[in-house]
Amino acid sequence: MHRSKLALTAFLPLLVSPAVVAQDDTDSVLRVAYVDAFPNQEKFDRPVYLDHHPSDPGQYWVVEQNGRIVRVPSDAESNARHLVLDFSDRCFHPGNGGHNEEGLLGFAFAPGYGEDNRHVFIYYSHKTGGEGRRVTREGVVARLTVSDSDAGPIIDPASELVVMRVEQPWGNHNGGTIVFGPDEMLYIALGDGGAADDRGGNGQNLKTLLGAILRVDVRKATAAAPYSVPADNPFVGVEDACDEIWAYGLRNPWRMSFDRENGDLWCADVGQNTWEEVDRIVRGGNYGWPITEGLHDFPAGTTRSADEKQGLLDPVAEYNHREGVSVTGGYVYRGTALPALQGAYVYGDFAFMSTWAVHEDRDEGEHRVHVLGKAKAPIASYAEEPDGELLLLCFDGRIYRMVPASE
Ligand SMILES: [Ca+2]
């Protein structure tokens, strides 16, 4: 079960922020159920993201890892489905030889999306070379333009404007979430480049974009100048540091989201050997990888010095690999069906299918974790509905809604 404050204080006297602990030992169990939100839909193909636009709340756009975006009515009775984008040829994904963690991973409507601005953004894995030439993997952030057809909105892949290419040394740890903040800036989560033990030395290296959350301005994107760096980014003007970086020290941030009520940025960072963690991301924050994993020195059995850990930020929650091995980040709950979860950050484990929510206690550090129970299939992602209720996108091809359990 989750570590108590007492135990952490006893075993980790060198914590930089001793008041902040992972979670309180008074875990509460909340009974929730996961019900199929679209029982009449055919299975989705590795659904990894779902979004809607406020101007069209009755339609959900579902991102499939193998390179497609489909649009389905939010109406549970419907079986209608419309193909918006087929990017499967351009994208390197599990269906055409890519790594299990590669593919079409991120999607976001542009700020101000509407009749006069039909732009959306995607993150996808790409491969160049091969056939005798060296293969290079890269993560690509691109802008696409939506147009209309009789059947609904469609995206011509030819409308692509590449915003950013980042070389990915290995197929795993891509990150791949892209999300616009309330400030209309685009936040991009990137993993450490892959392999194990941060072999590339990227987590703590501010000269690489890997292992970091980036913040860029794409509102005036052109082919010649696809993005600019906001002047108030934390490392602007700092020598040997990329201006794009907003926060760093991350291993494989798998899903981040903004709290729709207060604009806080939350991120789940997948661990390697022992600990999975949930972080609240602040400007310029260093989240420790690979010096720490969760609240613990990394690798296990080593003792990191106070100097090494100077300034590292602790996670808000963590769990041990006895309870799960690959965290999937969700959302701060702002719905009404589960009042006890109001303001708590909801997350789960891809492999063990366990789910939790954490109420952060920003004053005392007595964060309170709620055990929510098991999902029905591996949780690839969460999504937030217009009314704040949460969906789970699962690798049985189904999308579930989190609801109160009936007695
Ligand atoms: Ca960390």
DSSP 269-307: E--SSSEEEEEEE-TT-B--TTTEETTEESSTT----TT
Average pLDDT over residues 359-364: 96
Q: Say how far apart CA 323 and CA 375 lie, in whole Å.
A: 14
Kindly indicate the confidence band of residue 25, based on its pLDDT and cuts at 50, 70 and 90: very low
Distance (Å) from CA 300 to ligand 1 centroid: 14
Pick the CATH number of 5-404 from 3.40.50.300, 2.120.10.30, 3.20.20.30, 2.60.40.1150: 2.120.10.30
Ligand 1 centroid – CA 44 distance (Å): 32
Give me ligand 1 centre to Cα 84, in Å: 37
* pLDDT digits 0-9 by tens, 241-293: 999 999 999 999 999 999 999 999 999 999 999 999 999 999 999 999 999 99
pLDDT band (50, 70, 90) for residue 407: low
- State the pLDDT at residue 63: 98
For ligand 1, the distance from its centroid to the CA atom of residue 329, given in whole angstroms, is 14
The residue extents of the domains of the chain are 5-404
pLDDT digits (tens, 9 = 90+) for 136-194: 999 999 999 999 999 999 999 999 999 999 999 999 999 999 999 999 999 999 999 99
What's the rounded Cα separation, in Å, for the pair 292 and 286? 11
For the chain, the C-alpha Rg in angstroms (whole number) is: 20
Confidence (pTM)? 0.93
- Please state the rounded mean pLDDT for residues 384-391: 98
- The DSSP bridge pattern shows strands 317-320 and 296-297 to be unpaired
Q: Tell me if 322 sits within 8 A of 297, measured CB to CB.
A: no
How far is ligand 1, taken at its centre, from the CA of residue 118, in Å?
Answer: 37
Can you tell me which residue has the tokens 């924050």?
Answer: 285
User: Cα of 325 to ligand 1 centre, how many Å?
Assistant: 15
The Å distance, Cα 33 to ligand 1 centre, comes to: 30
Q: How far is the CA of 153 from the centre of ligand 1 (A)?
A: 40
Instruction: Give the Å distance between the CA of 203 and the centre of ligand 1.
Output: 10
Antiparallel, parallel or unpaired: β 368-374 and 28-29: parallel
Distances (CA, A) of 251 to 175, 266, 288: 9, 15, 9
In tens, the pLDDT along 288-298 reads: 999 999 999 99
Q: How far apart are CA 192 and CA 249, in angstroms?
A: 8
Tell me which residue has tokens 């059947």.
151
Distances from the Cα of 116 to the Cα of 154, 183, 223, angstroms: 16, 20, 19
Residue 187: what pLDDT?
A: 99
Ligand 1 centroid distance, CA of 243 (Å): 21
Taking residues 60-74, report their average pLDDT.
Answer: 98
How many angstroms does the Cα of residue 170 sit away from the middle of ligand 1? 20
Cα–ligand 1 centroid distance for 180 (angstroms): 23
**What is the Å distance from ligand 1's center to 190 Cα?**
14
Label residues 24-58 b or e (16+ Cβ within 10 Å = b). bbeeeebebebeebbeebeebbbbbbbbbbeebee
Q: What is the mean pLDDT of the chain?
A: 92
